[in-house]
Amino acid sequence: MLVNTVVAQIVNFALEQLDDDTMKNDMRKRLGREWLFCDGGTGTILQAKGLKGGELPETWNLTHPEDIIDLHAGYLAAGSDIINTNTFGANALKFDNVGEIVTAAVGHVREAMRRTGREDAYVALDIGPTGKLLAPMGDLPFDRAVELFGEVVRHGTSAGADLVLIETMSDSYEVKAAVLAAKENCGLPVLATMIFDEKGKLLTGGDVDSIVALLEGLHVDALGVNCGMGPRQMAPIVRRLAEITSLPIIVNPNAGLPRSENGRTVFDVGPEEFAEEIGKIAAECPVQVFGGCCGTTPGHIAREIATVRKLPFRPASEKSRTVVSSFSHAVEIGPKPVIIGERINPTGKKKFKEALRQHDIEYILQQGLEQEECGAHVLDVNVGLPEIDEPTMMEEVVTSLQGVLALPLQIDTSDAAALERGMRHYNGKPMVNSVNGKQEVIEQVFPLVAKYGGVLVGLTLDEQGIPDNAEGRLAIAKRLYESADRYGVPRKDIVIDCLAMTISSDPRSALVTLETLRRVRDELHGHTILGVSNISFGLPMREIVNAHFLTMALQNGLSCAIINPNNASMMASYHAFCALAAMDPNCAEYIAAYANAAPSPVPAHSCAGGPVPAHSCAGGSVLSLGEAVTHGVEGRAADATRELLRSGRAGLDIINEELVPALDRVGKGFEQGTVFLPQLLKSAEAAKAAFEVIKDTLQGNVQQAKGRVILATVKGDIHDIGKNIVKVMLENYGYEVLDLGKDVPPERIVQTAMDEKIRLIGLSALMTTTVVSMEATIKLLREKGVPAKVVVGGAVLTQEYADAIGADCYARDAMETVRYADRIFA
Amino acid sequence: MLEIPRKEIYRYLGYHGVAPSTEVEALVGRCVAHLQEVIEPRAIHAVFPLEISPDGMLSFGGMRVSSQSLLKNLDGCVEVCMMAATIGVGVDRLIRQAEVRQMSQAVIYQAAGAAAVEELCDQHNAEIAAEAQTRGLACRPRFSPGYGDFALEHQRQFLQILNASKRIGVCLSDSLLMTPSKSVTAVIGLCKENSTSTIDPGLEAEPGHACQHCGCPDCQFRA
């Protein structure tokens, strides 16, 4: 009996699995091969049934089951094939009974299918945005978002959903979290649609191209657009989708643009007009799935289906585009050479290594911003040092960089764990540097690219080393393409590194590289990449060789050049080549870069595209160091310092006799209300530039800091401009600042203070709601007996407030903090 | 294009009517031009009937608010307009960039962003006022959650009623901070023209500067 039951359970389980697989396959077989139709609006219909504004529609799965079944039945009767569960906002941020709500929701669609005799339809587990902005701009961590969505997916799958439909997403990072959650928690088809505005932008800034790159990389089954506007306004976006995506396209518009009427949102486009507009889209663009969103009803969908079915069906077609993306835009590899900035890399860079060891993320961000300004299209990110935790550092650097700059990143590491952390947390479709012909590396890297998406750099070397001829390198390239096939990575997403080896040890090495470039392009129809400057290793005046080799490589078909974009000669080669090779229409980029350049050769290491530094004041008179600091003229402050050093003044003398008095004048002016914040900071920046020059000459004999101070914006607070102002000023006055950043838990502040034996801690809070964490931090510091003084500041703080939470000092502004520090460390 | 009033930028930067230096003026000019390129001004609103219970509880749009300061602002009104506005997340990235490179520009972006979103609110408020006028109604000064005793906790429901995260991308952090940072929510009381608050007869129907109705007289940013 017992045995029988067990056997029956096993058989049942197997049958269910089979059923599940057939259903899945059935959906995947039909998607993109025949017309499929989604349902239409939910909220508008539920409002008509009595849902109040501000009431959460998902609660109706439990309180009004018949109304929900009725809603689904209406769309099934209209002919919809894909029915969304009423689970748009059903996540643990809003509900403590997510499982119950999701399970009921899936059941309601099934019941509606049974009642209408439409068992051929599919239950789509509907997933909408969390309603929170993801970190770093918001406070929802990416991993937490994946967890939240994952919970919904697990409940939906066990309740019997046939597919996952992620919709109305306005943030590329959030949609990535949702797709990963779906992929990691079920094997069902995943469809994703985004909400764009009329300019074709997401609320978080992304465009159609960047989203297509991301979602194709993540291997969704279909992608598209929903909500936000009506079919007429959506048409240009659909047109662009159809031009660039190789996946089936979903189009779910609203019934026109929303309009407010007595506090309610209404839509004006009726079924007839809606279907007519949809018909125009279907006739023009190969779209495979149509439905509706806000304001549409079963009436709209029925008319839409009738109109569309009369038109010839066109399947999706392969677009053969190689694209990487950031949160904001895409970069296509192929049509025009791509510059990949190489500066975020510790190899051979003392300062960079030091920054990694000191956890100086700001320094790394500066390297990124400089390269962006100089015209890089993609940034290589390598943070490997033997003594640091590379996976953690990679995640932190990738997330920090993408919070500041818009360029796509190339994640560069030989550590598989670091690669995965970087790829997982990357907001877009990255470049990945790299795989090579070694079997072990192939097995590590390809699965990650298959999962997260990316354009993969394939080095033409293997267990036997680097072939010294093109034939050998081509053979490895072919093997890499075959590996890509095996792992389901599209061949177009492989970029072959033909390897530049120095001509100082093998005079033929450049020729071999150039031949390989040509043959990858002509025989394998592939894209190529080179770390260009390796060609001149060991030679004097390397940039002469590098710049000429870059031109030769570009002429031989190089698609991506990894170079230092801050190097004017390299950028000159690039701009000249593009203009000469008809890749720069009207020579516009060339002219933009050089129209205002001096006729003499551009000095090396200055960036042609960047802003011109102001070296003197408007009148053209030459400022003294003191004047440069008080006027806040950064470039002049550095130059004046160099002049003083050349004239024989000692670094310390310059600091004590020129810089400190100048800073004091500005600081006093600020306190007296004659100098204001921008001027104070400009002076601080000028002084910093002067300090840097002096520091370089002191080399090792660095001046002792006056004291070490922790600064942190307290837990819950994510705006840290106030803290950063204080940091600049403290550093200027000779303090070493341990900047713990924003949203810092009390425990971390206490731990750091104890570990580093800190005597002064500065805390910042912006809101009354976060002053609470400030108080908690101070309390914990006192409990643990940390012998440090605490100075507090922030928009809502007052002396009384500071006293009440037990702070030692309230500082109204940055200068007051400096003065307090001077007292503590006197 | 949203014109960002320079005067307001300097007020947020702490210039109390003092003229900025030519260097700062030039820098502000460059920053404002750059800011203009990245902002995406978006504003939404919805109008609801107002009910005031005998014990002073305010009800509108499904929200119930107990607040003496808001009651003072809304007393005598028949409707409430709830609005939300933002200039988008681009300014936050710009501030962050400047924090890495040049703090002096970060504070200018910060101030200019604040001035920009206030200007957007003024413009949107003017549209609301014009629409109200056609119905014989006038606007009271904007009043935001967090002013006086109008608790910040109402933000959650406020944004939900307007569906602000989906429509304009305004979300709330766990500590009730709005993201993007340069975002504003406010209620605007709509009253019959010429009717005044019985509690504060001095409360003009015409919106003056928001600072006039704020309870923080020693604020360093007070206009």
User: pLDDT by residue (tens digit) across B22-35?
Assistant: 889 999 999 999 99
Whether A85 maps to a domain, the answer reads yes
Residues with Cβ within 8 Å of residue A500, at least 6 apart in sequence = A509, A510, A513, A530, A531, A532, A533, A534, A535, A549, A553
Q: Which domain holds residue A783?
A: 707-824
Categorize the per-residue pLDDT at A700 as very low, low, confident or very high, splitting at 50, 70 and 90.
Answer: low
Categorize the per-residue pLDDT at A264 as very low, low, confident or very high, splitting at 50, 70 and 90.
Answer: confident
Whether A119 maps to a domain, the answer reads yes
In this prediction, residue A638 carries a pLDDT of: 94
Residues with Cβ within 8 Å of residue A166, at least 6 apart in sequence = A127, A128, A175, A178, A179, A182, A190, A191, A192, A193
Residues A648 and A729 in one domain: no
State phi, psi for A678 to the nearest 5 degrees. -60, -40
For chain B, the domains span: 6-197
Distance CA B84, CA B71 (A): 20
Among B88, B92, B177, beta carbon nearest to A767 = B177
Chain A, window 503-542: residues with a beta carbon less than 8 angstroms from a chain B beta carbon: none
Distance CA B89, CA B81 (A): 25
Whether A604 maps to a domain, the answer reads no
CATH of the domain at A687: 1.10.1240.10
Look at residue A282 and tell me whether its pLDDT is greater than 50. yes
Residues with Cβ within 8 Å of residue A161, at least 6 apart in sequence = A85, A106, A123, A124, A125, A188
The answer to whether the CB atoms of B173 and A768 lie below 8 A apart is: no
Residues A658 and A718 in one domain: no
Class (C level, CATH) for B6-197: alpha beta
Structure tokens at A500: 């530049």
Look at residue A619 and tell me whether its pLDDT is greater than 70. no
Structure tokens at A435: 């795989």
C-alpha dihedral sign at A433, A437, A443, A444: negative
In this prediction, residue A26 carries a pLDDT of: 85
Categorize the per-residue pLDDT at A621 as very low, low, confident or very high, splitting at 50, 70 and 90.
Answer: low
The answer to whether the CB atoms of A404 and B93 lie below 8 A apart is: yes
Among B89, B103, B106, beta carbon nearest to A137 = B89
Among A129, A681, A769, beta carbon nearest to B152 = A769
State phi, psi for A660 to the nearest 5 degrees. -60, -45
Structure tokens at A11: 């058989």
> Which of B23, B31, B154 should one mutate to test binding to chain A, selecting the residue with the greatest count of A CBs within 10 A?
B23
What's the whole-number mean pLDDT along residues A372-400? Answer: 96
Look at residue A265 and tell me whether its pLDDT is greater than 90. no
Distance CA A559, CA A483 (A): 21
Cα angle A770, A774, A775 (rounded to 5 degrees) comes to: 115
Residues A368 and A452 in one domain: yes
Whether A612 maps to a domain, the answer reads no
CATH of the domain at A430: 3.20.20.20
Low-confidence residues of chain B, pLDDT below 50? 205-207
What Rg do the C-alpha atoms of chain B give, in angstroms? 18
What Rg do the C-alpha atoms of chain A give, in angstroms? 31
The answer to whether the CB atoms of A203 and B28 lie below 8 A apart is: no
The answer to whether the CB atoms of B99 and A724 lie below 8 A apart is: yes
3-state secondary structure of A465: strand
Phi-psi region of A790 (alpha: psi -120 to 50; beta: other; left: phi over 0): beta
In this prediction, residue A701 carries a pLDDT of: 59
Give the end of a domain, one of A594, A610, A633: A594
In this prediction, residue B193 carries a pLDDT of: 79
Q: What is the pTM of this model?
A: 0.91
Question: What Å distances lie between residue A388 and A357, A411, A753, CA to CA?
Answer: 7, 17, 22
A-chain residues within 8 Å CB-CB of B177? 139, 716-719, 766-767, 769-770
Question: What Å distances lie between residue A793 and A714, A722, A808, B103, B118, CA to CA?
Answer: 11, 8, 11, 18, 24
In this prediction, residue B210 carries a pLDDT of: 61
- Summary mean pLDDT of chain A: 92
What's the whole-number mean pLDDT along residues A390-416? Answer: 96
Residue B28 C-alpha from the chain's centroid: 22
3-state secondary structure of A82: strand
Residues A300 and A347 in one domain: no
Percent above pLDDT 90 for chain A: 83
Amino acid at A39: D
What's the whole-number mean pLDDT along residues A374-381? Answer: 97
Residues A420 and A379 in one domain: yes
Residues with Cβ within 8 Å of residue A710, at least 6 apart in sequence = A737, A738, A740, A749, A752, A753, A756, A758, A760, A761, A762, A788
Distance CA A449, CA A217 (A): 8
Residues A23 and A162 in one domain: yes
Give the end of a domain, one of A245, A275, A309: A309
**If you search the block for the tokens 């210039």, which residue do you land on?**
B15
**If you search the block for the tokens 């802003």, which residue do you land on?**
A611
In this prediction, residue A54 carries a pLDDT of: 73
Please give the tally of structural domains in chain A: 4
B-chain residues within 8 Å CB-CB of A682? 23-24, 27, 104
Q: Within 13 Å, how many C-alpha atoms sit on residue A222's CB side?
A: 34
**pLDDT tens sequence across A95-149:** 999 999 999 999 999 999 999 999 999 999 999 999 999 998 899 999 999 999 9
* DSSP code per residue over A579-599: HHTT-SGGGHHHHHHHTTS-S
Categorize the per-residue pLDDT at A769 as very low, low, confident or very high, splitting at 50, 70 and 90.
Answer: confident
What's the whole-number mean pLDDT along residues A62-89? Answer: 98
Among B100, B110, B172, beta carbon nearest to A365 = B100
In this prediction, residue B218 carries a pLDDT of: 64
**If you search the block for the tokens 């090579």, which residue do you land on?**
A436
Distance CA A428, CA A349 (A): 28
CB-count burial class (<10 Å; 0-12, 13-18, 19+) for A140: buried
Query: Is A264 in contact with A235 (CB distance < 8 Å)?
Result: no
Residues A712 and A634 in one domain: no
Please count the other Cβ atoms lying within 10 Å of the Cβ belonging to residue B48. Answer: 21
> Which of A194, A294, A404 should one mutate to test binding to chain B, selecting the residue with the greatest count of B CBs within 10 A?
A404
Categorize the per-residue pLDDT at A258 as very low, low, confident or very high, splitting at 50, 70 and 90.
Answer: confident
Cα angle B106, B107, B111 (rounded to 5 degrees) comes to: 120
Q: Is the peptide bond before A483 cis (omega within 30 degrees of 0)?
A: no
**pLDDT tens sequence across A715-735:** 988 878 899 999 999 999 999
Residues A224 and A159 in one domain: yes
Distance CA A417, CA A638 (A): 42
Look at residue A167 and tell me whether its pLDDT is greater than 50. yes
What's the whole-number mean pLDDT along residues A167-195? Answer: 98
In this prediction, residue B17 carries a pLDDT of: 82
The answer to whether the CB atoms of A204 and B89 lie below 8 A apart is: yes
In this prediction, residue B41 carries a pLDDT of: 96
In this prediction, residue A612 carries a pLDDT of: 39
Give the end of a domain, one of A681, A698, A715: A698
